[in-house]
Structure 1
Amino acid sequence: MANTKEIKDRMSSIQDTLKITNAMYMISSSKLKKARKSLEKTENYFYTLQSAMARILRHIPDMESIYFKSNEGKKREDVKVGYIVITADKGLAGAYNHNVLKLAEEHLKHCPNYELFVLGELGRHYFEHRNIDIDRQFQYTVQNPSLNRARNISETVLELYLKGELDEVHIVFTKMENAMQEEAVITQLLPLKKHEFNASDIPVDVQMEELKFDPSPEKVMEQIVPDYVVGFIYGALIESFSSEQNARMMAMEAATKSAKDMLHNLDILYNRARQAAITQEITEVIAGAKSQKKKKKKK
């Protein structure tokens, strides 16, 4: 059994760790609330864009656009796919980074022709360690998602897509399902799929609103789609950041509980060691007293 000093030192170390895990929990909680508020301020605008695209497609379901092109006629090995992978800058967030990186790596294995775009230090280290080429690194931190950063990412991939250097663009991120669960998902960002805008849910012969396009429906769509892509990327950045903070909160909560359990067990062990030490001292005093009595009797 360890002595009381060793147990005390260990308890002191765990108490210091407990303070850190509590502080990290509170920080992540604050960041999570801030991120969700930022998303709420802008999501109405992007929902309106999506609604406008659905209305246009309802009136003109056969509209031709580079943003809605199909790659069905191409062989899979001839399709150049861009993957945007969103990870964190640091760990201590449970399985958050592991899940999104494993999902991305699994898709890369089955895609012979791809370009990789990575956000987050852990993602960069992960792919570099495995000698997986990264075509573009967005060096800014993912700890502060903003519309400006989403726009920069959007402009990069849209330029490659419009030049024909990319046939598809997929984004791999973590979606926050609820307060207790998040899931790594992969979504096709480009080309867009008409059926996903629910344009066919309403029969064409049903009279609704009349739309006037100036100068043309195609031109209007070309103006709307880039903003829609920006909004989707921004939402993915916020979702990933929120999921990271939520995962870190749960990890720190579990670590705090484990630290408290360890302190409880060490407290019991400390009391036992202290009691054993006191008992030992009493035994030694009694043994000494008996020895003195024996010496006196002999004299």
Structure 2
Amino acid sequence: MPNLRDIKRKIEAVKKIGQITRAMNMVAAAKLRGAQERVEQFRPYATKFREVVTELAASGAVNPAQFELMQPREVKKVEIILVTADRGLCGAFNANLINACERFIREQKAKGREVSLICVGRKGAQFYRKSGLIRESYEDVMSRVEMFNARAIAREAMRAFLDKEVDETHIIYGYFINVVRQIPKIDKLLPIAVEKEEAAEETTEPKISGSYIYEPEPEELFAQILPLYINTQVFAAMLETAVSEQAARMTAMDNANRACGDMVHSLTLLFNKTRQAAITKELMDIVGGAEALKG
């Protein structure tokens, strides 16, 4: 049985860890509010951008086949943009993204395709560093998501596609649903698909429809907005991953803080039992000595 000093030392150590996890939980909660506001503000923009591209491509005003970014080809090599966090201590968030990437890689290799990676975030780059799959790596860009970083990543992905180094590009990121649920999501980035998405839920609100007037000409406009559309998709994925990371970290630190409390309670009970056993032993020694003196 451990002595009282060891148990007391463990209790103090666990209490200090609890203070750290509580502080990290508060920091993650503060960062989550800011990141969630950015996501909520950007989602309508990204949705409308996709709607405009889809409507313009489906209107017949332009021919999607004349734009290289929209031309499908025989897929021999697939590239994956894996967006993870720069830091850990966020539960299984990074592991879930990497597991989703691993499953997707196995699926592509089963079809006889080569796979390469663009890793955004330090955790994904660290995991695949020795795999030989990484073509480009962008670390230390997820602590503060900026558009110029997303633009550089999108530019490199488009360059590889246009130079026919890759035939298809997908992006894997953490999609934020709510504070307690974030899921890995895989979207096809290149070639750009313009199929209309069906609404997941029926709404009673009337749908507003109408035709767009484009200036300059649709062909010239389309050539300009397609690269911007890729930039928007990458930036949206980075924002979603950033807010999911903070939500996962807040939940993980909250669980760790509760676990510290439970551990302190268990150690306190053990401390009291050990102290009581020591007192009982001393009393038995005193009583035994007294009885020996009487004899």
- Corresponding position of 1:286: 287
Report how far residue 197 of structure 1 moved.
Answer: 5.7
SS for the counterpart of 2:38 is helix
Partner of residue 102 from structure 1, selected from 99, 104, 122: 99
Partner of residue 92 from structure 1, selected from 89, 100, 107: 89
- TM-score, with normalisation over the residues of structure 2? 0.86
- Corresponding position of 2:196: 196
Instruction: Map residues 1-299 of structure 1 onto 2, 5 A cutoff.
Output: 1-60=1-60, 63-64=63-64, 65-71=67-73, 74=74, 76-77=75-76, 80-109=77-106, 110-111=108-109, 112-129=113-130, 131-196=131-196, 209-294=210-295
SS for the counterpart of 2:259 is helix
- Identical columns (%): 28
The 1-side partners of 2:209 and 2:40 are apart by: 29
8 A contact 1:49–1:224 mirrored in 2: no
The 1-side partners of 2:215 and 2:267 are apart by: 75
SS for the counterpart of 1:171 is strand
Report how far residue 99 of structure 1 moved.
Answer: 1.5
Report how far residue 216 of structure 1 moved.
Answer: 2.6
**Deviations, residues 196-225 of structure 1 (Å, cap 9, x unaligned):** 367xxxxxxxx9644443443122112122
The 2-side partners of 1:104 and 1:49 are apart by: 27
Report how far residue 293 of structure 1 moved.
Answer: 4.0
SS for the counterpart of 1:83 is strand
For this pair of structures, how many residues does the alignment match?
280
The 2-side partners of 1:21 and 1:208 are apart by: 51
**Deviations, residues 109-162 of structure 1 (Å, cap 9, x unaligned):** 324223310012221121124x23311111333221111211111122122223
The 2-side partners of 1:91 and 1:197 are apart by: 35
The one-letter code of the counterpart of 1:125 is Q
- TM-score, with normalisation over the residues of structure 1? 0.85
Report how far residue 268 of structure 1 moved.
Answer: 1.2
SS for the counterpart of 1:23 is helix
**Deviations, residues 6-45 of structure 1 (Å, cap 9, x unaligned):** 1111111111111111111111111111111122333343
Task: List alignment gaps of at least 5 residues for structure 2.
Answer: 199-207
8 A contact 1:53–1:197 mirrored in 2: no
Report how far residue 54 of structure 1 moved.
Answer: 3.1
Task: Sort the Cα spacing of 1:164 and 1:8 in 2 relative to 1 into closer, same or farther, 3 A.
Answer: same
22-31 vs 104-113, which moves further: 104-113
The one-letter code of the counterpart of 1:106 is R
8 A contact 2:215–2:221 mirrored in 1: yes
Task: Sort the Cα spacing of 1:107 and 1:235 in 2 relative to 1 into closer, same or farther, 3 A.
Answer: same
Give the alignment's Cα RMSD to 1 decimal: 2.3
- Corresponding position of 1:201: none
The 2-side partners of 1:61 and 1:82 are apart by: 31
